[in-house]
Structure 1
Amino acid sequence: MGNSPSAARPLSSPPPSPALAPASDPKALPLHHYLRHGPVRRKRSTILSALTLGCVSDPLPSDYSPPPSPRPSLLEKHSYEQPPPVYASTSDLLEDDAANAAFKTFISEYPEYYLTWTLDALRRSDFSRLDHVGEAYVDYMGGSLYPNSLVRVHTNFLNRNVLGNTHSVNNSSRLSATHAAAARKAVLSFFNAPPDYTVVFTANASAALKLVGESFPFSPDGCYILGADSHNSVHGIRQFAIQRGAQVHYIESTSTGGMDVADALNTLSRHHHPDHPAPSLFALTGQSNVSNAKNPLVLIKHAASMGYYTLLDAAALAPTSVISLSETPVDAMAISFYKMFGFPTGVGALIVKKSFLEKLRRPWFAGGTVDVVQAPGTIFTLTSEINEQFEDGTINYLNLPAITDGLRFLSAYLPFLPLRLNILTHYLINSLKEFRYETTNTPVVRVLSRIPSRRLRSIGEQSDTGSVISLIFLAPTEGMLPLSFIEYAAAAQNISLRTGCMCNPGGAAALLGLREDMDRLYCGVTMKQFEQHVGHELGVVRISLGLATNFQDVFRVLRFVAAISRKADLEEMWNAWSDGRASPDAASHASV
């Protein structure tokens, strides 16, 4: 599922909205009143806090003495009425008076936001380029942003050292091997893995998942069970199962994504055959990249107790959630490091039990995976290190030292992320629901993804959902605004979001109510034909928050939605988009 272009149709001409009168008390104003103001840049603080664990930040002025860190007892609710110290506030980052007024209202409703002040210091020290270029980045599910200090530390390391291919035994190669071993140890420590786990470095999470699929001993007596709300890399494993005669069974998605626990347990039990055991695999998506649903990790223990081997896709879960492999002893878990801390790309990992690796059989061998190869002939002997048997060719030895530093970096801030992102997600969703078109008084957006069931109140709590908001923009009269229009208009406002189905067709179909349409697909069908069938571009608008997200980013998104709700602004954006999109044979998908 994806996007296809739509032709533009002229906007209708609703009457102009009445002017909004300013109010003396900003707290009394609803959010959309603040959003009418244009940006007026304010001078930002030149003092940037440096809180990058293990990473060197830009030097501070020589005469600067940092204030003492606040004690949690000073941040109890009764003290929120006093202005926080400068290092605990985001107000000096806000771009105009409207944003400042909205922030005052926001902080009065979500005072716990101040408990995450260290993330504002991080924003200033390592992500100041966002404010410098004026970009509101809300595509963290697509990829986290790299912190400046991590890149700087790694660059300095490369400049000071000589690294060689780990398959050699010279000094430079031994140094590479030493840092590769340190990276494996850091990964195991970060995920609290017991001693029977090892790390196989891959190109990304998809490569880690493929590694399991191509090597798993599927047979006609076994099966592969997965959730419909999964990434295509998880769906793709079914091809290996089908090729070897195994059955594939899906756990249906709920209307808001994820899976119902009772339904999951019933599916696992129904296809469990204790009298005729055969290797069967259960793949669980830890967090959906489109529906925002977190699936209970306890399902892994239930599946293992029935005899299933278990695989966890943690690519979307790991960046903002604590995962302990001691508490959730899954057989294998796939991650991508760029989704966790932005740098480097091109490195992922399969964190896996050694006993599980011993049951996998690779369909081929490559350089680095073997000790002896008969050529010509058919005999080969795998290398003695079991993790190396699954690492094809040369590992990304130049970037592995950055993994160690990146995990150290993320560990300093991960405890604060669930609270910060839960607050911003609640605020964004509640605010989005307020917007209505001034011409028709109809909603501007419809939130489709799962909403957090509760507000977090303190550091250390974990949310029952992620920080992803999938929605559609409704047209003023009927239908929905084309995804390509929203993406264009957002980019024009320096907002980085994403549209489409996010490589998750099952989750997107559940959110959009297209489950029955999925059943009507046929071999060879194209996305264009599917979109013609449903009558509009397929997919959602996804806003995903992450490590460096602050109030200002969310406010920028809301300001964009407010502009769409106004007739004059919407018409201007539509005309700019349609000038480059209109074609004689295209058809519009929305009546605006």
Structure 2
Amino acid sequence: MGNSHSHSCIAAPGATKPRPFSRKRSAILTRIHLSCADSSESLDPPQETSKLVSDEKSVYVDHYRTTPPITSVAYCPIATDLESDGEGAFEGFLREYPEYRLTWILDTLRRTDFARLERAGETYVDYMGGSLYPESLIRVHTDFLNHSILGNTHSVSNSSKLSLKCADEARQAVLAHFRASSEYTVVFTANASAALKLIAEAYPFTGGSSLVIGADSHNSVHGIREFATYRSARTVYVPSTAHGGFDIPTAKDVLQRHRPRSRDLAPSLFVLTAQSNISNSKSPLSITHHAASLGYHTVVDGAALAPTSVVSLADYPIDAMAVSFYKMFGYPTGVGALIVKKDFLSQLKRPWFAGGTVDVVQVPGNIVTRARLPHEQFEDGTINYLQLPAITDGLRFLSAYLPFLPLRLSSLLLYLTSALSKLRHDTTGRPVVQILSKVPTRRLRSVGEPAETGSIMSLLFLSPTGEMIPNSFIEHAASSKNISLRTGCMCNPGGAAAILGIEDEMGRLYPGVTLADFQDHMGRELGVVRISLGLASNFRDVWRVVQFASSIGQEYPRQIMWNQWMESQRSTIGQAL
């Protein structure tokens, strides 16, 4: 129950424009993506490439010309590439969620930067696994590389100075995006997992220390307990609710009962998963105030939260937060960050050193003088200097659209929840799906309003008799329909166990147990089917997911897909033999 792969278990429109970019290439992003915000532009839909353009124009233009706008600012009409039988569904969706129209700028983005989705006929609903990169970001970054000479930052040549300048710009962009004060610095890492490992291996755990973790957390967080155990510290879990996350009074009670006796003699760590990658629950960052008041250091896993939420470190006593940039804007992979207070870094004791982290090393001998700047002491070897310029542009790109995402994605998620909940098998009338993750209870109405949950859905597909359909079949069938989704436990065994209701079975695991053992004991595959929405998601995506789920509820098409899956299974076994 730990692997992330398939089958594994368990500013309102018209707001002030962004400041000019410090590098000439960045201005291209502003021209490409913010042009629709000009109130002088026509309200007619942009030219579409779909064969349904002529029909959709009449439908959508008529709708927007006869429906009063929700806001006084300019807005563009929405056009979506849908099959003819989806047009009525979209009109009904807009009547039910008229506030969705306020997010028209994301439809413009979909048609420009993510047009490849329509060209490929792909429905991508795995943004929690990795966001899709905007095409303009790749073009801008490629153009910069084609006209620049970058060298290793550990030198004083012109090429090295340019690389260092770009790295410093990226650091400042990260601090600005997360509204971090001068108390913070940025350590670039391979990803959020590597950022959390930096803290795990260097935190000064002792025999009297406590590590407090939410059960509904990624394995990158659970892995910290290995270092705590090695230094004789105790690991304490805040239990998950049936829908993931945790109950705030319970969390406060756990923190109180295991509070550090002395921050100097027995430092203790509270690691908060800001948003679950499987249960869709958000944990309030405000609980860090309570933890800090008890003497804990506070660390936040922000990998799932940062892609669709505005996060301000200025509002909370957070010592460090880990993020992955590919989850935020798709490119580049292989770069993450630890946004961390400098005084917290000074308390960490690294168990080794490498190139770039030291100033003087005595050989032979034991004397080591660390690098002068705090972040340099934690960036092992050469940083990914060719990719860091894309971080600056990517963050500014995302910032332009981030205020619109909660409203847009919550509308789509509510529609998806309602539509899937109504599906019934044609032979027995039983439900086709069982939704396990947390569903929003509060509807958003305006741009910039924060969402109470994330934008994912974890569910099981059920047979006509109510039994679980294997996730591996669902993944195969979805792939055959060009739908990219995820199955498994998402590297979150605690959250998966909670929403699947198998916490007692989890408690009975024994040393050396394998996933196959666990599944044999349970008599079925473990894990869920996860649908996750993000930056480029639109109605077309959720509508096609609903259409796919509907086909699972129909005996004839389901049997065809089942036969195809079984044939692929036999083929795989034959190749292995």
TM-score, L = length of structure 1: 0.86
How far does the alpha carbon of each residue in 1:133-160 deviate from its partner, in whole angstroms, 9 at most, with x for none? Answer: 0000000000000000000000000000
Cα distance in 1 for partners of 2:42, 2:387 equals 35
| Residues 1:392 and 2:367 are matched in the alignment | no
Matching residue of 1:348:
336
Find the residue that maps to 1:326 and give its secondary structure.
Answer: helix
Cα distance in 1 for partners of 2:368, 2:6 equals 49
Is the 8 Å Cα contact of residues 278 and 530 (structure 2) preserved in structure 1?
Answer: yes
Is the 8 Å Cα contact of residues 240 and 494 (structure 2) preserved in structure 1?
Answer: yes
Residue of structure 1 aligned with 2:159, choices 164, 172, 184: 172
The equivalences for 1:239-318 within 5 A come to 239-274=226-261, 278-318=266-306
Is the 8 Å Cα contact of residues 467 and 546 (structure 1) preserved in structure 2?
Answer: yes
The equivalences for 1:153-552 within 5 A come to 153-274=140-261, 278-552=266-540
Cα distance in 1 for partners of 2:556, 2:402 equals 42
Is the 8 Å Cα contact of residues 338 and 345 (structure 1) preserved in structure 2?
Answer: yes
Measured after TM superposition, the shift of residue 465 of structure 1 is 0.2
Whichever residue aligns with residue 536 of structure 1, its letter is R
Matching residue of 2:17:
none
Cα distance in 2 for partners of 1:397, 1:521 equals 44
Cα distance in 2 for partners of 1:55, 1:415 equals 16
Cα distance in 2 for partners of 1:347, 1:487 equals 28
Cα distance in 2 for partners of 1:537, 1:337 equals 32
Find the residue that maps to 1:398 and give its secondary structure.
Answer: coil
Is the 8 Å Cα contact of residues 4 and 528 (structure 1) preserved in structure 2?
Answer: no
Measured after TM superposition, the shift of residue 88 of structure 1 is 2.0
| Residues 1:111 and 2:98 are matched in the alignment | yes
Question: What's the C-alpha RMSD, in Å, of the aligned pairs?
Answer: 2.7
Is the 8 Å Cα contact of residues 90 and 551 (structure 1) preserved in structure 2?
Answer: no
| Residues 1:146 and 2:121 are matched in the alignment | no
Residue of structure 1 aligned with 2:79, choices 81, 87, 90: 90
Whichever residue aligns with residue 268 of structure 2, its letter is S
Cα distance in 1 for partners of 2:28, 2:534 equals 18
Matching residue of 2:49:
none
How far does the alpha carbon of each residue in 1:500-550 deviate from its partner, in whole angstroms, 9 at most, with x for none? Answer: 000000000001001000111011100000000111001000000000000
Measured after TM superposition, the shift of residue 194 of structure 1 is 1.0
Cα distance in 1 for partners of 2:461, 2:114 equals 30
How far does the alpha carbon of each residue in 1:487-509 deviate from its partner, in whole angstroms, 9 at most, with x for none? Answer: 00000000000000000000000
Cα 1:85–1:390, aligned 2, differ >3 Å: closer, same or farther? closer
Cα distance in 2 for partners of 1:108, 1:567 equals 32
Cα distance in 2 for partners of 1:365, 1:309 equals 24
Matching residue of 2:68:
79
Cα distance in 2 for partners of 1:336, 1:88 equals 33
Is the 8 Å Cα contact of residues 88 and 118 (structure 1) preserved in structure 2?
Answer: no
Is the 8 Å Cα contact of residues 274 and 305 (structure 2) preserved in structure 1?
Answer: yes
Matching residue of 2:48:
none
| Residues 1:67 and 2:42 are matched in the alignment | yes
Cα 1:497–1:5, aligned 2, differ >3 Å: closer, same or farther? closer
Whichever residue aligns with residue 240 of structure 2, its letter is S
Gaps of 5+ in 2: 9-25, 46-62
Cα distance in 2 for partners of 1:115, 1:182 equals 32
Cα 1:151–1:473, aligned 2, differ >3 Å: closer, same or farther? same
TM-score, L = length of structure 2: 0.88
Cα distance in 2 for partners of 1:181, 1:501 equals 37
Cα distance in 1 for partners of 2:96, 2:27 equals 29
